[in-house]
Structure 1
Amino acid sequence: MNFFDIIIAIISIVIGYSLGGILPAYIFGKLKGVDIREEGTKNAGTANAFKVLGLPYAIPTALYDTLKGLLAILIAYFLGNDFIIMQICGLMAIVGHVFPFYLKFRGGQGNATATGLLLYYLVNYILISFDIFYVMLYLILLVVIFAYISKSGSLLPIILFPLLGFSVFLLYPTSGFNLFFVILLLHITTIGMYKVITEKKLVITDETFLAHWWRVAIRPVSLLFLLFYFIYSKTVVLMLIGIVCLCFVFLDISRLFSRQTNELLTVKIKKIFRKGEEKKFSSMTLFLISTFILVLLFEIEIATVSLFFLVFGDMFGKIFGLAYGRHKILDKTLEGTLAHLGAVLLFGYILYNTLDISLVVLIVGGITSPIAELLPIGVNDNFTIPIMSGTVMRVADFFGF
């Protein structure tokens, strides 16, 4: 890159930033005598323009905010910049939108601009191959599920964009768009997380869960057992799980046979054992026993899928069921069950593309998982979910599906 190219690149980047700094929502607001950054959601973007100013102002705001990143790339292209500078110019439109210098660097969130660029990249991926289109259809199904559950769009990027990023690197591993695509995903996801936190989109009031949330959060650590399975052997993993499991069994037996120990762990130190576990084995112990049985009975692929379904299906079901549960199904909620299904679909897609397992086998296991959680058979979910889904998958695999 010579001196002239550098000057052109700098000019193009400044143009990109300047285009981003033009905020129709703010301009229209000023024309109506209001600072849109002080009204409604206090965001100089499309949604707030609609809320504060109305549809006639929201439409042009949406159009410009969505297209200005692409416009920045187009101008950079006509000025003769290379591929990377063009993409940087598009990103600078987001920077300009979020940090306009003439408004003391307080603008909008840049979601519309990032979304416009995201669509631009997706079109380019489709032009390379049509595979990403089918992924988008799959994501639409997940969008429907989680949008129904949460009645909010803020959670969707947090849940779905990691899958979209995974798909892009899987389908287009050498594409020059990938880095910039991931930056956009991270931006939109971060904004989504910010909204979830500040607007309290995910609120759980259940005291038992709040006291023992760490027991749900720590479960993915159990997937390390599977990593050892892949690296070493079934025997090594069974020994490892067995040792950990015996420690928990010993702890449970100790407290069940000692009133003082039981009272200490279930009453005085409430964060370890839940209410209702005073006279029985804890779900932590049952989870480890179930993991041991999975590895013992099934091949590595089926054991992996079953444990993923248990860990994340149960996690999603519990969190979304407690936060958004509105309709009861037996002793569960429809929203929690749908979240369990959503988690199965989410991680099932990843597992299908990383493990040597049949799609049919994966589907029947995925359908079985939320059903197993629903069944009122009096057996702990830590057993029913993985053992039933694993058994169904093993049978399907046996018959050659």
Structure 2
Amino acid sequence: MKRIVIDLTFIYDRKASGGTLHYGKNLIKKLLDILVDNESVEVFLLGFKTLTLNMFDLGFTNLELQALSMKKDLRFVSLGISPAKVPNKKVSNMIDKAIKSLDPDLFFTINTKNKLPGQNNPRLKKVISVLDLFPLVTRYSKVLRPTIFFKNGVKESLLTADIIFLPSEQVKRTATSIFNYENKFVVCNPGVDPKFFFEKENFPDERKIYIQNVYNLPERYYFFNNSLSVKEDRSALKKFLEMVAVYKKIHTSLPEKLVIVGREFKKSVDGKITPKTEGAEIFVKEVKKLGLLDMLITTDSVSDEIYNDLLYFSTAVFSLSSPFKFNNVILQSMAAKVPIITNLVDQSVDITEGNSFAYIDFKRSDFDWKGFFSDLGELLSNVDDNPKIHNARNIARKFNWNATAGIIWDQIKQLLDITSRSEYI
């Protein structure tokens, strides 16, 4: 019997992005569903707090947890109860110590902030799954200090993994252009939450009224969920707001407000915008100089349900892409039949197979903003009957978490020489 350890430390990492949490919870829940049905493996879970709390945070109900436990004895190794006070370097040491004690055959993680354990154990197979390449390629932070990935040798340890799962062909192309590890890179597309496929007419009116009242939302607004820690993203969003302010006078159907979803800002009250991070603070100062601060609404951290509703009821999603990462917001928007405004054609084509969204080339000083907003106005006026919007939803249906977990399980089986067949892909 092979012993597998799954790292759950990301669940209580306060610095983990919303995308990482969403990805990890959905993926590992489905992966556990597969593992408990396999008699050739025993599973250990490694994380903070208790097994029950971790399982609830992964999305298991009491009944699901009981059913899971009846199939396989899930063993949990706790690293303590206060992860917020534990530095990454110490967490890495704690994980390494636990791995030496457990002596597993394979260690699986999505947490790229910690060193991979067992660096001196050639028998241990190490597998990581990442949403983006930033931990592997970003040498300096915005203040020109070595990031934790380089400072503590995390990057070097991550590259010792036997398999590195990447979220798209675009990201793999970027990775192989940087590293000589093509044989380690395996594409494994993330799934999309089935909740995004609900039809708007089936939503209770109370849900829309509730979020409109809580966040003082207009009927029409843009949804934005990118981090503002990157200078280029701040500049792109600022430019977009400038152009919206100009062309909304011509195209009166365009939304006038942009809702920034996430914990970089406090929830706006009576129009007051309060940044919580350095990047957000810089952005607010720049937008304020332009006299555009009243175009913003901010939410602070929100639950998954509120996030889904904010996206679902938006008029359009403005989402910045990068060749270093998978843009899951685009996938969610496709499923929800919400028009998308983005900046990188290659990334979007990788997901949508050529569907027509509204593209902005921020690198071109002569970009045709007049034509862009004319096309956008036409797109937004005919969403329900637009065949491209419906086709985008059909493509999004191909991305499901069962298939994602199935691909990972098949690769793990090959690593561990397990011969049982997978029924999940």
Q: Which has the higher strand share?
A: 2
Compute the TM-score of the two structures, normalised by the length of structure 1. Answer: 0.28
Give the structure with higher Rg (CA): 1
Q: Which has the higher helix share?
A: 1
Compute the TM-score of the two structures, normalised by the length of structure 2. Answer: 0.27
